[in-house]
Amino acid sequence: MKHIKTAVVIMALFVSSVAAGELPAGTETESPVIGAEIDFNSKYLWHGQEYSNRSVLQPSVWVSAGELTATLWTNNELSEDLNEINAILEYPLEFKKFLVEPSFSYYVYPTQPGCNPMIELAFKISHPLSEKFSLYTSQNFYFLNGDVGDSYFGGLGLDFETGIAENIKLNVSPFAALGSIKYNRENFGYPEWAFDLISADVSLEYGFFGGWYVKPHFTYAFLPDKNLTENDRSNTAVGIALGAEF
């Protein structure tokens, strides 16, 4: 219960600062944007790893003020209790032709005994190649119990997005990543650097009136290094999200 409160407090502090008008210097003072989404998935995949053996619901809510966004995301296995809550803060920055998107995430696992809270510091840096293509790198660092070791997961991806009809967007994003010694030891029991992931995400988003949208999506993930796992090296998930932003 203590960890649930911590995640909620992170969100509450940001929401209260928005209401009070206490935003970071340089942040626009336009009205906050509030959004919510419920995402139904055939399974929970995280960095290519399967974290459920059944379908999951992943609701989230967020509030944005200027460029700063606070999100509360949850994972719920069907017929079981809520088992993960993530509180996330994001603040994108533009530098010449690069978009830099740093984020801070606090993970808690309320119904999983022995799973300690985790902090993630992530940086996504994108550079447009054309109107529809952009190259990006995602760099993720993880901290458990105050440990500042080298738990790292990061790689390169290509993002393709295009409109295929009125209010319909297609997005395709292949990605490849490495994992550090500590990351692989904690997640696979393999204490070496490794080529952890080749993946592809495909989504089709249709926008409705009033800020509503529906987005079916598909993920394919492959773990190339046999030292990580010899079984279930290939994972797939399908899902559909329904959300709105006001």
For 217-231, the pLDDT digits (tens) are: 999 999 999 999 988
Structural domain harbouring 76:
2-245
- Does pTM surpass 0.85? yes
For 96-124, the pLDDT digits (tens) are: 999 999 999 999 999 888 888 999 999 99
- Residues with Cβ within 8 Å of 168's Cβ and at least 6 positions away in sequence, in order, are 204, 205, 206, 207
Q: How far is CA 23 from the centre of its chain?
A: 24
- CATH code of the domain covering residue 173: 2.40.160.40
Q: For residue 205, what pLDDT is reported?
A: 98
CA torsion, points 158, 107, 45, 156, in degrees to nearest 10? 20
13, two tokens = 């502090």
Q: How many separate domains does the chain show?
A: 1
Q: How far apart are the first and last CA of the chain?
A: 31
Q: For residue 35, what pLDDT is reported?
A: 97
For 18-73, the pLDDT digits (tens) are: 444 444 554 445 678 999 999 999 999 999 999 988 899 999 999 999 999 999 99
